[in-house]
C-alpha cells in the first residue's frame, strides 16, 4: 500500500473513531515508537510487511523478508521454506556467530509456536538485508523473518519491555483486514 493510501486509510479510520468505541489503527513513524505492555508483532507473509502494534491501535510498518515458498535443502534438512502462518511468541534472544546469515550483530529472536514449542524459526538480520528489503520480491529467507538492524532493535526493545515475551502472528495477507474479518465472522456466529 502506498504511503498516500496508508495516510488516507489512517485518516478515515481516525475520523470514524469518534462514532465508535472500538480500537482504531493508526500508523506512526518508527522514531515515534515507544514500547508498551501488550505490544504485538504482526507479519503479512503475502506482501512481506511487518507491523509492531500497541493495544491502542498505534503501529509502525516496515518491510520484511520471509520464506522462499519452495522446498529447499538447508542445514542438513529438506523442507518447504515458506514462513508458516502461526501464532508465536518470542521467548528467547541469542547471538549467532554466522554474521552472513544473522547480520552484523548476530542477534536472533527465537519464535515459539503457540508460545510453547521451540522452533528453528526466528527474527534476525542478514548481511544482505538492506538489498533484500529494497526488492519487490522479498521471499528470500529459509523460513525465518529477516528485518533491518534498526527494526531488530525496535522489536528487541518491545520484547524486553514485555518481560522477555512478545506475541507474534504470521498471516497470509494484510493482518488488519484478516483479523477484522475474523472478528466480524465471529460476531455473526455468536
Sequence-distant (≥ 6) Cβ neighbours of residue 95 within 8 angstroms: 105, 106, 107, 108
pLDDT confidence band for 22 (50 / 70 / 90): low
Bridge partners (DSSP) of residue 41 are: 52, 168
CA gap 177, 183 in Å, rounded: 10
Sequence-distant (≥ 6) Cβ neighbours of residue 175 within 8 angstroms: 42, 43, 44, 51, 169
In this prediction the pTM is: 0.82
User: Average pLDDT in the 18-46 region?
Assistant: 84
Helices then strands, counting H and E runs in the chain, come out as: 4, 13
The pLDDT assigned to 112 comes to: 98
Coil, helix or strand at residue 143: coil
Task: Name the nearest CA neighbour of 145 among 1, 55, 42, 54.
Answer: 42
pLDDT confidence band for 75 (50 / 70 / 90): confident
Task: Name the nearest CA neighbour of 158 among 55, 8, 49.
Answer: 55
The pLDDT assigned to 174 comes to: 87
Task: Scan for cell 524459526, then name that residue.
Answer: 121
Contact criterion met (CB below 8 Å) for 74 and 89: no
User: Average pLDDT in the 132-150 region?
Assistant: 96
| Cα angle for residues 5, 10, 16 (degrees, 5° grid) | 125
Tell me: pLDDT of 182 over 90. Answer: no
Its CATH class, for the domain covering 31-175, is: mainly beta
Contact criterion met (CB below 8 Å) for 35 and 157: yes
Tell me: pLDDT of 37 over 50. Answer: yes
Bridge partners (DSSP) of residue 124 are: 108, 146
User: Average pLDDT in the 107-114 region?
Assistant: 98
Percent of the chain with pLDDT over 90: 71
Dihedrals phi, psi of 95, to nearest 5 degrees: -115, 125
Higher per-residue confidence, 187 vs 112: 112
Q: Give the start-to-end residue ranges of the domains of the chain.
A: 31-175
User: Average pLDDT in the 9-34 region?
Assistant: 62
Provide the residue count of the chain.
190
Amino acid at each position: 500500500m502506498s504511503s498516500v493510501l496508508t495516510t488516507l486509510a489512517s485518516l478515515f479510520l481516525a475520523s470514524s473513531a469518534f462514532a465508535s468505541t472500538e480500537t482504531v489503527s493508526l500508523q506512526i513513524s518508527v522514531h515515534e515508537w515507544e514500547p508498551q505492555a501488550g505490544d504485538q508483532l504482526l507479519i503479512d507473509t503475502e506482501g512481506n510487511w511487518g507491523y509492531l502494534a500497541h493495544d491502542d491501535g498505534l503501529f509502525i510498518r516496515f518491510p520484511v523478508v520471509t520464506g522462499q515458498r519452495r522446498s529447499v535443502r538447508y542445514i542438513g534438512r529438506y523442507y518447504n521454506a515458506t514462513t508458516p502462518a502461526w501464532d508465536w511468541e518470542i521467548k528467547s534472544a541469542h547471538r549467532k556467530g554466522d554474521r552472513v546469515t544473522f547480520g552484523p550483530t548476530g542477534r536472533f529472536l527465537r519464535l515459539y509456536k503457540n508460545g510453547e514449542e521451540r522452533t528453528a524459526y526466528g527474527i534476525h538480520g542478514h548481511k544482505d538485508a538492506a538489498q533484500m528489503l529494497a526488492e519487490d520480491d522479498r521471499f528470500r529467507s529459509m523460513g525465518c523473518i529477516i528485518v533491518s538492524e534498526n527494526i531488530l532493535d525496535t522489536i528487541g526493545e518491545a520484547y524486553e519491555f514485555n518481560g522477555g515475551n512478545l506475541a507474534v502472528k504470521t498471516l497470509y495477507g494484510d493482518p488488519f483486514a484478516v483479523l477484522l474479518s475474523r472478528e466480524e465472522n465471529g460476531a455473526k456466529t455468536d
